[in-house]
Structure 1
């Protein structure tokens, strides 16, 4: 199995490789891997009965700033636009709320482990099974390169954003192990 991650910002020239854009600007069906894609019905961690349209909706909704707490409106965004909440507008990020009504803030690393990873894994397992199987089949017959805006696959490296393409590659590798 050959599956790698490369930066969409750099020209990727890999003769014989299948290059797949899994960002919000990618083609169907691969755009469905974007954290911005509105799959709907995604459980919000530590918030029983609450759901989101997208992974990014959960991440942004639970983010807490100096001048703004959670923003549940981000959970219902279906357009893949208008999801980001920025420090320019709200001040420094204080952390992520442990659930919509939680009383504690999670630091960045803990939020990745307790919010982002479980939510993205849920989407891979419940909304993208067919696409994961297709990527697995493609990677068994040729090298697959997944394009993302960042290539950081280390969840504990907080110096750069986490690459969802790296999470996909890891999930497809695990899928391969489970299939064998």
Structure 2
């Protein structure tokens, strides 16, 4: 099986020409059903919030944004209930510089960016892969040649210079090369 991650911004014709035998799968929130269900913005519901026993979120992005702490704003639990795939982002323009991600809605500690990726984002996204889109994971695993389209292509959790690609995480999950997580329970 061959699987690659390519930028969604690249012309579809160029992707098809480069990978003529590949099934091209857009896993962004703008992708077609059922593949948009891989998006961290997709409102699956019931996703456990790390460090917050009994609390769940509609989406992985809702968790990430809810636990983000800015110079001018603490956690925002309302992000956990967003079901529209819009209005989730919290920005430095509005709230000031990011101080870190809180270790749970009621937590005292702030996690730096890489630790937050490993202790919040990775466990939440892996939970979705295993509990909400396992059927789609198996469809991709069975394919001969696949190109996953995402807005970013960074699959290195330690590379803080660019956003983490959920398409790259899908590939790592299918190839049994999931990045090291730090447990949260």
TM-score of the pair, normalised by structure 1: 0.94
Q: Which residue of 2 aligns with 1:178?
A: none
1:169 aligns with 2:171: yes
- Hey, what does 1:9 align to over in structure 2? 9
**Which of 37, 43, 51 in structure 1 is aligned with 2:48?**
43
In the alignment, which residue of structure 2 is the partner of 1:156?
158
1:142-171 CA-partner distances (Å, limit 9, x unpaired): x10000000000000000000000000111
State the superposition RMSD in angstroms.
1.0
Equivalent in the alignment of 2:63: 58
- Which residues of structure 2 form unaligned runs of 5+? 178-185
- TM-score for the superposition, normalised by structure 2: 0.91
Pairing 1:18–2:23 present = yes
User: Structure 2 CA distance, aligned partners of 1:16 and 1:114?
Assistant: 37
Measure, in 1, the Cα distance between the counterparts of 2:41 and 2:107. 24
Q: 1:34: which partner in 2? A: 39
| Alpha-carbon separation, structure 2, partners of 1:40 and 1:68 | 25
Asked if 1:120 corresponds to 2:145, the answer is no
Structure 1 segments unaligned to the other structure (5+ residues): 176-180
Q: Distance in 2 between matches of 1:16 and 1:51?
A: 40
Runs of 4+ in 1 over 4 A off after TM superposition: none
The 1-side partners of 2:74 and 2:126 are apart by 25
The alignment status of 1:90 with 2:92, answered yes or no, reads no
Residue correspondences, number: 172
Displacement of 1:15 after TM fit? 1.1
Q: CA deviation at 1:174?
A: 2.1
